[in-house]
């Protein structure tokens, strides 16, 4: 789907008039509305989509059993679970997930060679298997076992063999391998191939921006953002502007970053990432020396959005802690996020800790140095500063030591030091309270599972 949802809906309505009992057409019709809600985050669409999904499931239930019909039933139920969780109806979402997973398991037994089913089976197995331990009891109660190894195997099988949903399988596999296994170049190569093949595909452009941003390649990510297709034919995707605002902030283009986040705040209909946007606008004003405007943005953080996603929790904690940021460490962090490792080291070189320096800043400085050296491939120096961060941290409630332990686990695993790697991944899991615990724990858990 190219995010040209109006044109897609016109095509599928014509198809449904000719073939009202086509499971594929029913699935695509539901998928258009699901995509519009996911991208817009418009809560006003929620009830209508849930009702439409229920009608779609009822229509599919009336059709003869085929592999495609059963696949469509599982996909729609999975979309419904995602919709419910996204809008904080977690219990309903968990039940829908259970129904979807049971359907997928039945499909896999009934249609063992159906590749789209293997795609969805793999996704469910991996995502459930990577859930942090704090949530495992609930999934176990629902009878939802996960298996990251089996999930990857099914996804890979669906990604390498041709079928109607192969591209989706390729994307899911690449994103999972990038996020949890450090397979960065695979994801970058895939998004480059996809955008070259379909330069008019806004979804592929979105993926290219996101992947390059995660790779700390701000220049390449901004180039992908600027090359994206635009026009009224496309579904508005305001989160793209929020990503661009981050990238511009990394480059020190504070005025341009402000404009991009202001556009995001104006067009976005959801509640997530609003605190993060105000925090980034605060940083842009503050680093520009505009303290009055920065304070106005700081006050907006508590008044906007929610604290469901980690970025918003970090922004709210900044307000709640009332601990001023250090401008040098903040600038270095932004440079590192953009992949500007040498400039970040130069910035860190001007930092001097004193007896009055807060513990947070004393922990952040060696952690940022470690990330810079890691990005430059100077692993001995990275190890030195990661381990220093861990030793200095103790049980401080900041994310620097957990992240340092996670990165040390990756370094040791790559070096073949498996016992040390396991110890560091377990160390990352041991920290009880920090802003990025959910994602850190998930990555450490997947890493440990891959070493069994």
How many residues belong to the chain? 452
Is domain 241-322 classified as CATH 3.10.450? no
Number of C-beta neighbours around residue 293 at 10 A:
16
Cα 258 from Cα 256, distance rounded (Å): 5
Q: How far apart are CA 246 and CA 236, in angstroms?
A: 19
Query: Which of 205, 274, 294, 219 is closest to 250 using CA atoms?
Result: 219
- Measure Cα distances from 20 to 14, 280, 370 in Å: 10, 48, 59
Does residue 146 or residue 237 have the better pLDDT?
237
Q: What pLDDT, on the 0 to 100 scale, is given for residue 147?
A: 87
Distance (Å, whole) CA 258 – CA 20: 48
Where does the pLDDT of residue 132 fall: very low under 50, low under 70, confident under 90, or very high at 90 and above?
low
Is 296 a residue whose pLDDT tops 90? yes
Query: 427 near 444, Cβ under 8 Å?
Result: no
Q: Are 164 and 28 in contact (CB under 8 A)?
A: no
- What per-residue confidence (pLDDT) applies to 130? 82
**Residue found under tokens 């939802």:** 144
pLDDT digits (tens, 9 = 90+) for 221-240: 999 999 999 999 999 999 99
Nearest in space to 203 (alpha carbons), one of 373, 31, 327: 31
For 28-51, what is the mean pLDDT?
97
CA 46, CA 1: separation in Å to the nearest integer?
A: 21
Share of the chain above pLDDT 90, in %: 89
- pLDDT at 137 (0 to 100): 63
For 67, 224, 257, the CA distances from 268, given in Å and listed in that order, are 38, 21, 16
pLDDT of residue 145: 77
Which pTM value belongs to this model?
A: 0.93
Pick the closest to residue 172 from 213, 124, 214 (CA basis). 124
Separation in Å, CA 373 to CA 339, 341, 378, 439: 11, 8, 5, 23
Q: What is the mean pLDDT of residues 339-364?
A: 96
Same fold flag, 241-322 and 326-452:
yes
**Residue 158: which of 191, 182, 125 has the closest Cα?**
125
Residue from 378, 366, 376, 377 nearest 403 by CA: 366
Residue 136 pLDDT class (50, 70, 90 cuts): low
Residues 237-277: tens digit of each pLDDT: 999 999 999 999 999 999 999 999 999 999 999 999 999 99
Q: Dump pLDDT digits (tens) for 390-410.
A: 999 998 999 999 999 999 999
pLDDT at res. 144:
78
The predicted model gives 296-306 an average pLDDT of 97
Q: Does 134 score more than 80 pLDDT?
A: no
User: Given a cut of 80, is residue 42 above it in pLDDT?
Assistant: yes
Higher per-residue pLDDT: 357 or 90: 357
- Both structure tokens of 394: 């103790």
Which among 246, 181, 237, 191 has a CA at the least distance from the CA of 213? 246
Helix (H, G, I), strand (E, B) or coil at 354: coil
Both tokens of 437, joined, read 């615990």
- Per domain, the residue ranges of the chain are 1-112, 241-322, 326-452
First-last CA distance in the chain: 38
The Cα–Cα gap between 2 and 198 comes to 9
**What's residue 135's pLDDT?**
63
Q: For residue 121, what pLDDT band results from cuts at 50, 70 and 90?
A: very high
What CATH fold (topology level) applies to the domain 326-452?
1.25.40
Dist CA 47 CA 31 (whole Å): 15
């Amino acid at each position: 789907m190219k995010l040209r949802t109006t044109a897609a809906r016109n095509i599928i309505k014509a198809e449904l008039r000719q073939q009202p009992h086509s499971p594929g057409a029913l699935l695509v019709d539901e998928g258009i509305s699901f995509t519009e809600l996911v991208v817009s985050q418009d809560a006003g669409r929620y009830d209508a989509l849930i009702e439409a999904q229920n009608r779609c499931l009822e229509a599919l239930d009336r059709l003869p059993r085929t592999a495609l019909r059963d696949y469509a039933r599982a996909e729609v139920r999975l979309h419904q679970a995602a919709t419910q969780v996204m809008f904080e109806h977690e219990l309903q979402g968990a039940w829908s997930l259970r129904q979807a997973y049971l359907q997928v398991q039945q499909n896999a037994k009934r249609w063992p060679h159906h590749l789209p089913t293997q795609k969805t089976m793999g996704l469910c197995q991996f995502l459930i298997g990577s859930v942090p331990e704090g949530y495992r009891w609930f999934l176990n109660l629902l009878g939802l076992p996960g298996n990251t190894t089996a999930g990857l195997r099914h996804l890979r099988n669906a990604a390498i063999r041709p079928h109607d949903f192969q591209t989706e399988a390729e994307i899911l596999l690449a994103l999972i391998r990038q996020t949890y296994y450090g397979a960065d170049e695979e994801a970058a190569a895939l998004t480059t191939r996809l955008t070259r093949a379909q330069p008019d595909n806004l979804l592929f452009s979105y993926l290219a921006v996101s992947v390059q941003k995660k790779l700390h390649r701000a220049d390449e990510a901004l180039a992908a953002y600027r090359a994206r297709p635009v026009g009224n034919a496309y579904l508005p995707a305001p989160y793209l502007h929020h990503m661009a605002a981050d990238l511009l902030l990394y480059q020190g283009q504070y005025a341009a970053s402000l404009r991009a986040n202001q556009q995001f705040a104006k067009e976005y209909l959801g509640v997530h990432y609003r605190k993060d946007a105000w925090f980034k606008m605060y940083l842009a004003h503050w680093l520009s020396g505009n303290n009055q405007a920065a304070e106005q943005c700081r006050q907006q953080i508590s008044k906007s959005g929610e604290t469901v996603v980690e970025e918003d929790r970090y922004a709210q904690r900044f307000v709640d802690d009332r601990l001023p940021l250090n401008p040098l460490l903040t600038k270095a962090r932004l440079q590192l996020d953009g992949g500007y490792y040498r400039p970040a080291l130069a910035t860190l070189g001007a930092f001097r800790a004193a007896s009055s320096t807060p513990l947070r800043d004393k922990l952040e400085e060696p952690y940022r140095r470690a990330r810079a050296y890691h990005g430059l491939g100077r692993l001995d120096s990275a190890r030195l500063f990661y381990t220093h961060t861990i030793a200095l941290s103790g049980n401080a409630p900041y994310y620097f030591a957990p992240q340092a332990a996670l990165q040390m686990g990756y370094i040791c695993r790559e070096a073949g030091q498996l016992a040390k790697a396991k110890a560091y991944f377990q160390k990352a899991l041991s920290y009880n309270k920090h802003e990025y615990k959910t994602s850190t724990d998930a990555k450490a858990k997947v890493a440990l599972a891959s070493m069994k």
